Structure 1
Amino acid sequence: MRRGFTISMLAFGGFLVGTAEMMVAGILDMVADDLHVSVGLAGQSVTMYALVFAVGTPVLIAATSRLERKTLLLSAFAVFIAGNVLACLSASFWWFMFSRAVLAASAGIIVVVSLTVGSRLASPDQRGSAIGTVIMGFSLSLVLGVPLGALIGEEYGWKMNFALLAALAFLLWIALWKLIPSIGADESVPLKRQLSALRNRKTVSALFVTFFWIMGYQLVFTYVSPLLRTSAGIDTAMVSTALLVCGLFSVAGSRFGGFGADRWGSVRTILFSLAVHAGALLALPFTSASVAGALMTLAVWFGAAWTTTPAQQYYLVSISPKTADFVLSLNNAVLQLGIAVGAAVGGVVVQLSSVRLLGWVGAVLEGLGFLAAVYSFSRKNAPVSEKSVGRKKE
């Protein structure tokens, strides 16, 4: 019972971290007005966050590999609190940019360590579910983070969002300090060892699964509003409602992905979710002609997309359980890169052809992710099998 509650608290931490990243989209114009910069320049804070997260996470995880996991997680949350306080006190745009860099650096560590701590707290046959629960917190931030941030910003000013996040994170810090037991440090990972991980074909191909999966997802998701308005002819209010409902399916998908990894194994769960994901995107250009068809396809798409996440994280942990933090940090760096590339490629597709073709391009990318997964699964399990993290070899 205590372990289950602790894992739920880690999921709540994921919600806070995800909200700190996502809510900027809903308050960007407020930030720009208050700090006297253009919306375009204010949007560079998103780029700053993604770059620091992608580049900094593997470096920071490797540098802190000798620290006890509880100490590292609490330290990262302390920096996260400081980053929110800095954002709340920002008197200039560059001060705000610095606060985003601090938040991204702390968030990268929190994401990785929360996943490994959650999996270690769970019993061997429940580790996939534990990872799914933690990821569910991040998924929930996608659903609630932007609208809540916009609502609070409109009512009390955009800085109030960061003040509330700092306060909630402080309360969570106290709870985690009392709840989390002492957990040993990860294996020390020197630079040479980091580079050797990139020579492991099983690991690299698994990272390509993440890259193609998130790239295909983000390519369509970035332009889903104009796609729905163009194809289904629905207004902005209906688009927001549709995305809110489908966001709930992403939360359900995260939970189901963890359950699937425990029940059927990460291999089957990943292949199934990628296949359904690709099928939904293939159908989207046809089904989006009607409101009902669009909503049903979006629900399947969101659910399948986020079913992949916990199963993929579980699989990566199973490849290298002794250096799980470092492997997951690489995965999160690839995730951020895939988000950036997916949005950029989507813009090119829209510019050169039509928003209606995005679904097909996204489906092709999911197909490449499926092939990368098949290749990764076919390689010999090195250095240890999944049995070492509590499951029978798949």
Structure 2
Amino acid sequence: MTRLLSLTLAAFAIGISEFVLVGLLPTIAAETGVSVGAAGLLVTAYALAITVLSPLLTSWFSRFDSRWVLVALMGAFAIGNTLVATAAGFAALLAGRVLAGAAHGTVFAIGAPAAAALVPREKASRAISLVFLGLTVAMVVGVPLGTVLGNAVGWRATFVVVAVLGGLSAAAIAALIPSTGAGEAVSLRGQLALLRDRPLALTYVVTGLGFGATFAVFTYLEPLLSEGAGYNATGVTILLLLFGAATVVGNLAGGALADRRGTGPVIHVALVGLAVCFTGVLLSATSAVAIAITVAVWGVFAFLISPPLQAHAVALARGRGAGAEKAASGLNIAAFNAGIALASWAGGVVLEAAGATSTPWVALVLVLLALAVSPGIISARARGAVREGVS
């Protein structure tokens, strides 16, 4: 458990870096002279860096000791956030985000199988959910506090703190994660070969659309809450805290339920729940009380889906040769962030055209597409693989 917590700390730092922009976009946009929609490209670029670079870096780094690879990656993550904190203009901000994002994706690609290897196979989903817990705790504590710090002292101070946390997590991993020795190389060709497996390829589609859908709304939650329901900065921070607390519940429940019930049913329930929640956001956007309730329920389903999706992909790749699980994990992380990039970009386009209260339409369309695709991830062979590997 203690060893897993070092990876949880890394995920916590990563979670703040990825999500804290939600509360800081208007401030950053004002300082850098761009619109809020354009500032949303900082989220999109970060996610695209993960999507494009994670498979490449996973291919290269998989041949080395996972312990020291994770240490190096968290060091690079800290440097990227230092660049963000000291950036002189918007282009430099984007560069720092790309470096931090490249490290982020590979940490999860290598860290998720490393976490699963530390526990018995029947507890793999819960081990992965403990790593993802860092992301959800970042939602609860890091994002609201980072938003308060950024608005009070300046947004750059928030990224200085994130850089420090990245360095601390690198030290914790070095001290606590056991050395694995040289690993099996994961070729880029081998990763792409996994995409020929229909259930696995469709899992990535569901990952991108289903998990990413949240970010069509969440990226622009601050203007949605202020324009629609009249929340001030303090009220937005409170709702971010509420959303974050709900994601912790969803994350832990997702891992436990996937181990108990299987990944497929939990993924389906999460997608249906998200569709209901995005409809609820559309209907409650102008009511301060109703939107608060909807945000809390939405937070549960937003992260209920992540552990079973990651565990599902890893289980389907099991037995496919050296490094297949790392490859499947890396591609699923890429899919998570391809979805975030698509959704945050599309949400920004809709925000500029029709206002923040229209962004839930984007999320609803994406999650309904995920629901339409989801039956294909559970073929006869897939059910067997998941029962053996995750249930």
Structure 1-normalised TM-score? 0.84
Task: Please report how far the alpha carbon of residue 132 of structure 1 lies from its aligned counterpart in structure 2 after TM superposition.
Answer: 1.1
Task: Please report how far the alpha carbon of residue 127 of structure 1 lies from its aligned counterpart in structure 2 after TM superposition.
Answer: 1.5
Equivalent residue in structure 1 for 2:193, among 191, 196, 216:
196
Question: What are the Cα deviations for residues 172-196 of structure 1, in whole angstroms up to 9, with x where unaligned?
Answer: 3232222111235554232332322
The equivalent residue for 2:101 is 104
**Counterparts of 2:353 and 2:23 in 1: how far apart (Å)?**
28
Task: Please report how far the alpha carbon of residue 106 of structure 1 lies from its aligned counterpart in structure 2 after TM superposition.
Answer: 1.6
The equivalent residue for 1:262 is 259
The equivalent residue for 2:341 is 340
Output aligned runs, 1:289-328, within 5 Å: 290-321=287-318, 322-328=323-329
Question: What are the Cα deviations for residues 285-340 of structure 1, in whole angstroms up to 9, with x where unaligned?
Answer: 33456443332222222101210011111111101134222222222222222223
The equivalent residue for 1:209 is 206
The equivalent residue for 1:274 is 271
**Counterparts of 2:160 and 2:273 in 1: how far apart (Å)?**
40
Q: Secondary structure at the match of 1:122?
A: coil
Gaps of 5+ in 1: none
2:108 partner letter: V
1:371–1:24 CA distance, 2 compared to 1 (3 A) = closer
Does 337-346 or 260-269 show the bigger shift?
A: 337-346
The equivalent residue for 1:372 is 373
Q: Secondary structure at the match of 1:189?
A: coil
Output aligned runs, 1:352-367, within 5 Å: 358-359=359-360, 362-367=363-368
**Counterparts of 1:29 and 1:285 in 2: how far apart (Å)?**
22
Question: What are the Cα deviations for residues 147-199 of structure 1, in whole angstroms up to 9, with x where unaligned?
Answer: 33344345555444444334333333232222111235554232332322221
- Conserved in 2, the CA contact under 8 Å of 1:29 and 1:39? no
Q: Secondary structure at the match of 2:63?
A: coil
- Conserved in 1, the CA contact under 8 Å of 2:242 and 2:295? no
- Conserved in 1, the CA contact under 8 Å of 2:62 and 2:110? no
Equivalent residue in structure 1 for 2:180, among 165, 179, 183:
183
The equivalent residue for 2:167 is 170
Task: Please report how far the alpha carbon of residue 85 of structure 1 lies from its aligned counterpart in structure 2 after TM superposition.
Answer: 4.2
Does 176-185 or 295-304 show the bigger shift?
A: 176-185
Note the aligned Cα RMSD (angstroms): 3.1
- Conserved in 2, the CA contact under 8 Å of 1:186 and 1:323? no
The equivalent residue for 1:253 is 250
1:376–1:75 CA distance, 2 compared to 1 (3 A) = same
The equivalent residue for 1:125 is 122
Gaps of 5+ in 2: none
Task: Please report how far the alpha carbon of residue 257 of structure 1 lies from its aligned counterpart in structure 2 after TM superposition.
Answer: 0.7
Question: What are the Cα deviations for residues 70-115 of structure 1, in whole angstroms up to 9, with x where unaligned?
Answer: 1211121222233344445556665554433322222221122222
Alignment of 1:385 with 2:385, yes or no, is yes
Q: Secondary structure at the match of 2:185?
A: coil
The equivalent residue for 2:33 is 38
Does 222-231 or 104-113 show the bigger shift?
A: 222-231
The equivalent residue for 1:330 is 331
Q: Secondary structure at the match of 2:381?
A: coil
Task: Please report how far the alpha carbon of residue 30 of structure 1 lies from its aligned counterpart in structure 2 after TM superposition.
Answer: 6.5
2:73 partner letter: A
**Counterparts of 1:71 and 1:236 in 2: how far apart (Å)?**
41
Bigger CA radius of gyration? 1
1:16 partner letter: A
Q: Secondary structure at the match of 1:380?
A: helix
Does 358-367 or 373-382 show the bigger shift?
A: 358-367
Q: Secondary structure at the match of 1:385?
A: helix
**Counterparts of 1:157 and 1:357 in 2: how far apart (Å)?**
29
Q: Secondary structure at the match of 1:319?
A: helix
- Conserved in 1, the CA contact under 8 Å of 2:144 and 2:240? no
- Conserved in 1, the CA contact under 8 Å of 2:70 and 2:170? no
- Conserved in 1, the CA contact under 8 Å of 2:40 and 2:344? no
- Which protein, 1 or 2, shows the higher relative CO under an 8 Å CA cutoff with sep ≥ 6? 2
1:85–1:314 CA distance, 2 compared to 1 (3 A) = same
**Counterparts of 1:141 and 1:23 in 2: how far apart (Å)?**
9
Alignment of 1:10 with 2:11, yes or no, is no
**Counterparts of 1:246 and 1:374 in 2: how far apart (Å)?**
29
**Counterparts of 1:92 and 1:351 in 2: how far apart (Å)?**
22
Task: Please report how far the alpha carbon of residue 249 of structure 1 lies from its aligned counterpart in structure 2 after TM superposition.
Answer: 0.2
2:8 partner letter: A
Task: Please report how far the alpha carbon of residue 356 of structure 1 lies from its aligned counterpart in structure 2 after TM superposition.
Answer: 5.7
Does 275-284 or 19-28 show the bigger shift?
A: 19-28
Task: Please report how far the alpha carbon of residue 205 of structure 1 lies from its aligned counterpart in structure 2 after TM superposition.
Answer: 0.5
Output aligned runs, 1:48-127, within 5 Å: 48-88=45-85, 90=87, 95-127=92-124
1:184–1:277 CA distance, 2 compared to 1 (3 A) = farther
**Counterparts of 2:43 and 2:345 in 1: how far apart (Å)?**
14
2:339 partner letter: G
**Counterparts of 1:11 and 1:45 in 2: how far apart (Å)?**
24
Question: What are the Cα deviations for residues 341-385 of structure 1, in whole angstroms up to 9, with x where unaligned?
Answer: 223433555667676665455334323212322111125239x82
Structure 2-normalised TM-score? 0.85
Q: Secondary structure at the match of 1:381?
A: helix
